[in-house]
Structures are given as C-alpha cells and as structure tokens.
Amino acid sequence: METRSAKRKKIAQILQENEAKLKLSSIDRISDLPDHVIHHILLLLPIKCVAQMSVLSKRWKFLWITFPDLDFTTLNPFPLISTKNYKKVSKFEKLRYPLSSQNMDFITQVLSIRDAKNKDIRALCFRACLSFSRLNNLVRNAIRHNVRELDIEVDTEVDTDDFFNFPRCVISSESLKVLKLKSGFRLPPSSIMRNGFQSLHTLSLSLVILYNQPSLSDLFSESSFPLLRNLHLDMCFGLIHLRVGCRALEDLNLERCYHLQGLDVCGAKIERMRVTSCFDAYCNKTWVRMNVPKLEKLIWKFNAVTDVTVFENSNLLHEASIGFFMLKEGKVNMGRLQSANDFFSGLSHVRSLALESQTIEILSKYNIIIQPFYNLKSLELHTGLKKRNVQALAFLFRCSPTLHTLILEIINDYKIERKQWNRDLWSITSTEEEQYWESQIPSLKSFLQHLKVVKIQGFLDCANEVTLAKFLLKHGKALEEMIVCSGYSNRRDSLRRQNIRSQMMGFSWASSNAKVEFQ
C-alpha cells in the first residue's frame, strides 16, 4: 500500500512535469530562427500582415525593416479600376476594386522607412493606378535600394489617352536582374537603351507602343543584353520588324504582336520558343528566319503563314505545337505554301508533335508535301474527321513511320452533317471510308508495326470515327492500348452507344495484347 509520503512525491513530480511542459510550450521557437528563414516564412503572408507583426517586439520590427521581398499586389486585387472609369462602375465593383490612393501612401511610407535604414530590396511588386511622376519616383527609389526584381503593372490615374514613358533609371541599374513592366508605355530610342541592362537576365514587357519606332532590329543584341536569358514581349503595338540576337538567351516568348511582318531570331543557346498570335495576315511581304540549333521546345500557334520561312533544323527539338492559318479569301499565295513546307522541314527531328485544326486544314486543302518525321514518337492531332481531313490524317500517318503514341482530339463542328454508324457486326459489305483506309495499308506498314497507344477524345460514335478505330485495331500489330473518350451526346443515344462499343470489342484485332478502354 502506497504511503502518504510516496503520494506527495508523486504529486510533486507530476506538477514539475506539467510546469516544464508549460514552459516548453511558451517558448517562441519562430523568433529563434535565422532572419532569412523567417523572411521566407513571412513571404507567404499578405504584406499588411507582415507590417502589423512589427509591433510584437524589437526583433520583429527589425525583421520588418529588413524584409527583402515587398509584394504589394495583395493590397489591391486585379483587375484595377482607373479614375476615369471609376464613376461608371457599380457600387459592388467599387467595393471590390477600390482606388489605390491609400495603398500607394502605404507603399511610399514603407519605402521611406527603407530610406532611413538604408536597407536593400530584393523584390518590389505592385499593381496600381498612379501618375507618371509617382511611378518614376517609386522606380527611382527602388533602384536606389539596389532592387533585383521589379514587377510593375500600372494604369494612369488621369483622364488622358497619353502613355507612360519607359523609366530610364532602370537602364543603367547594376543590381536589377528581373524586370517585368506592364502598361501602355513608349520605349526610348534604341540609342539610349543600347549598352544598358548589363546585369538583366529576365525581361518582360507588355503593352508597348512602338508606332514611332516600328523596327527593333538593333535593340536585343549582345551589347544591350549580354546576360539576358528570358525575354517576353506581349502586345507590342506598331512593331513591324524584330530581331533577337542575344547570345545568352534561352527562353523567348512573343505574343499578340499583330502588326509584325518580319522576325529574325538567332540564338545559339535558345532552348524554348513560343510565338502566338503574331504576323499581319493581310501583308504580302511577311517573313521569318530562325537559327536556333539548340531549340528543344517550340510553340507556334495562331500565326499567319508567312511569305518566306527560313528555319534551320534543330537536332535537339523534342516538342513542337503548331497552329498557323491562311486567309480564305483571294488567290492562293504559292509562296506561302512553300513557306509552310519549309517550316515543316525545320521540324524534321521533332519527337513530340501537336497540330491544330487549321494547320491540318491547310495540309489537306493544298496538299503540302512534308518530309517524314523519323524521330517522331508522339503525335497529337486536333481535327474534325471530314473526308478531306481523313486524307490528311493518312498522309501524317505515312510521315510518322516509328510513331508510338497517337492522340486524336476530334473537334465537333455541329455544322457538319455526321453519318451514324448503323452497320451490323457481321456485315460483309464495306463503306467508302473503310475501302479508303484499306487501300492505305501498304504505305502505312511501318506506322502500323510501331503504333502502341491510341487515345481518341471527343468520340461521338459516328461512322468515320468508328471506321478509323476499327482500322487501327484490325491492322495495328503492336497496339497495346486504345482509350476512347466519348464526347457530348444525349441520353437517348446511350443504348446505341453501348451497341457500338460491343461491336468494337467484337472487331478483328491484329494484336493479342491490345486493350480497349471506354471513358
């Protein structure tokens, strides 16, 4: 039996353990962390919360003053409402997107504290509605604090159609590594920008007004941007000719330059290139030259076919996504047909290729001859299975003799009349589509011996779709998997769909290892 003294000792021991646990739980472990670790944690919080935490202690006040990443984009959500449109919007929109005068005062106050303590800024990001002079003052202040990353999106706060002038103080900055500027602004003359940006490795410019200097043939050069690795130009209005020749450049992104007529890209280190919604389709003298021997990924979408294309082969090209178009009206420009042919010749070593519907339409309509893709392993096609497009598909299959994976996304154009699959499983007679595919067997021999995976998306159980799936099952000797993803259809068609699926499972299969999955 336990004695009273033993009980007292046990109770005292429990009290001591509880007191120790209480002291342990009250320890401020976060404050014991190094400054750079706490800065990284605070980066996950809105900046106003970080500022409010500065009142906790002297340590936290110091952490706020030395906080290197000033991201003010959490102050005012996007999109912003400018002063000239502020009176026209509803009360709900005013509450949701208020004007940023108070927030700009907060930004100015934060930067003034930095002035007193002389602390550097690693990153400054903000989106606001402000005047020319205020923008320039903020940028100059950031440059004085050796800012390394500057991300700005602004709108004017005055009722004017004028544009911003490019902040010239950033040109000579030795600390700036990343510059992202989005606003309706004008670039200074190339003579001023040349020999600047010696430390910049990332540049993103959006909404650039270039009507007064439509050619940027001498700006993006080795002398102006010796260390530039990433370049993004978006909505450069009035830009007609562009030359990019930065030797260190690895990633080029060009978007919505609708007035562009000539593009010259020369880069020994460019690995990724994206050009979308560019080139003037109504101009008769458009051209493109690309000398990018180390290109690995190319995205070329919504671009008009140019009159002249010079595209040097890249043996390293791994992935390409192509979607260009030609105007339907007027006579066919034979130069542009040859240009499209030359463009595909530059893709001869690609391993993964995706073609948009308009590109396939051009191939089928104008019978453009392209060289085989001997390295191609994955082919993704976006198209409607019209009769003419079926011939283009057969042509692309012939050009892909070692293809491993075929992804076919069927575009459902409801203006096109579709034939329903109404044949019986044991019917001997063959349709015109089946006869066509059977006639292609000799030229598709290598294709059918290598194809292993087929995925058909947007499948509506129509005759041409079922016929193609039947042909691939019947003659695909190496086929391992076919995935059929149904498109939109009425519930009333569910019984017919089930019957067609049953028929497909009963088709003759060339590969005993093939599996068919319906989704």
pLDDT band per the 50, 70, 90 thresholds, residue 72: confident
State the pLDDT at residue 426. 47
pLDDT band per the 50, 70, 90 thresholds, residue 162: low
Specify the range with the lowest mean pLDDT, choosing from 55-64, 81-90, 401-410, 503-512. Answer: 81-90
Query: Could you report the per-residue pLDDT of 232-276, keeping only the tens digit for each?
Result: 999 999 999 999 999 999 999 999 999 999 999 999 999 999 999
Compute the distance between CA of residue 455 and CA of residue 85 in angstroms, rounded to an integer.
49
Ranked by mean pLDDT, which of 144-158, 356-370, 467-481 comes out on top? 467-481
Domain extents in the chain: 187-358, 372-413+420-519
Burial class (CB in 10 A: 0-12, 13-18, 19+), 191: exposed
Fold entry, domain 372-413+420-519: 3.80.10
- Report the SS3 class of residue 201: coil
- Going by C-alpha positions, the residue among 162, 99, 174, 164 that lies closest to residue 138 is 164
- Report the SS3 class of residue 185: strand
Alpha helix segments (H runs only) across 403-462: 432-439, 445-450
The pTM is what? 0.82
* Tokens matching residue 14: 């429990």
Alpha helix segments (H runs only) across 187-319: 190-193
State the pLDDT at residue 331. 59
Is the pLDDT at 317 greater than 60? The verdict is yes
The vertex-474 CA angle with 377 and 443, nearest 5°, equals: 55
Average pLDDT of the chain to the nearest whole number: 81
Compute the distance between CA of residue 131 and CA of residue 155 in angstroms, rounded to an integer.
8
Helix, strand and coil in the chain, % to nearest 5: 35, 25, 40
Is the pLDDT at 78 greater than 70? The verdict is no
Compute the distance between CA of residue 455 and CA of residue 440 in angstroms, rounded to an integer.
21
Residue type, 31: S
Phi and psi angles of residue 264, each rounded to the nearest 5 degrees, phi first: -125, 115
State the pLDDT at residue 26. 52
Regarding predicted confidence, which is higher, 86 or 32?
32
Query: Mean pLDDT throughout 354-375?
Result: 87
